[in-house]
Structures are given as C-alpha cells and as structure tokens.
Amino acid sequence: MKEFTEGYIYYKQLLSYQEVLTLINKLSKPQSYYFLRYSHAVSGICIDLPADRGEIEGQMFNAVCELRWKKYKSGYEVLILSKQEFRLDTFDKLSGHWEICDHNAYWHDLKETKFPKGFIFKDVEPNKIPIKQRYFQNSATATVHFVALTVN
C-alpha cells in the first residue's frame, strides 16, 4: 500500500514574463528539468532552461515541485504542485486537503509512433533521469486531480 503525505497546490493568474522567470529561478534546484511548448514545436526534456524563449507554455520539475505556466494575451497563468509548503505572498493556495503519492514512471520508447518526430532529450540521457509521477488527490474524495512529474 502506498503512503500518502501532504501536498500543496498554488496558482496565480496574470503574471508578467519577468515574474514567471523570477519564479522559475526561485523554485529551480540543481536537478531540475524543463519542457517548453511552442506553437510549432516542443523543446524536449532539457537540463537547462532553453535560451530560445517565446513558448506558449512550459514546465519545470524537480524532486520538490512541478511548476507549470501558460501564456495568455494578458499575461501568464501559473500552477505549482509541491510536496513542500512555500511562502508565496501573491499566490492563492488551492482549497481542500491534498495528499500526494509518488509512483514510478517510464519514458516512452524514442521510436514510439505517438511522437512522429521522436521524443527529444537535450544534453541528457533519458535513462539517467530518475523520473517519477506524483499524484495529487483530494483526501475527502480520493480523486486524483493532478499528476506531476518529479525525480528522486
């Protein structure tokens, strides 16, 4: 039986590009990974935040949290899924009691047909990333609402 611990979910709307960049820098750890989505392509899994920015959405994940951001006309919307409580004065905490549980995860085969152009890993070997999935479930309903990427 898997053991559940307390989880934390934060969100905020209408952040500027600079605020998102500051948040990325604040939450990143030595073993953080990035994935950016552009209108025409994806960055693939990267060890460093790509210099070629202009993504419509992205995510950063490490052992503590996953940060997701999405661009809208008026700014960015941000979601943080974390096993650690943060002091984020301008963020709202998602109501409810959240429990988390980590599960092993595996990368798709690089030749998987779901990815016609292949799946990209920049400057990192996929089998060197200790990937896991972190389930965030509402303790009152036992419903999983979010699945975040994480690493050991």
Longest Cα–Cα distance in the chain: 45
Signed CA dihedral, 93, 35, 138, 86: sign only: negative
Residue 23 phi, psi dihedral angles, 5° rounding? -65, -40
Domain count, the chain: 1
73, pLDDT greater than 70 = yes
72 or 123: which leads in pLDDT: 72
> Where in the sequence is the domain holding 37, given as residue range(s)?
5-85+94-151
Q: Above pLDDT 90, what percent of the chain?
A: 68
53-57, 60-64, 143-147: segment of lowest average pLDDT: 53-57
Q: What is the pLDDT of residues 6-51, one digit of tens each?
A: 999 999 999 999 999 999 999 998 899 999 999 988 888 999 998 8
Question: Is 0.75 surpassed by the pTM of this model?
Answer: yes
Q: Give the pairing of strands 75-82 and 65-72.
A: antiparallel
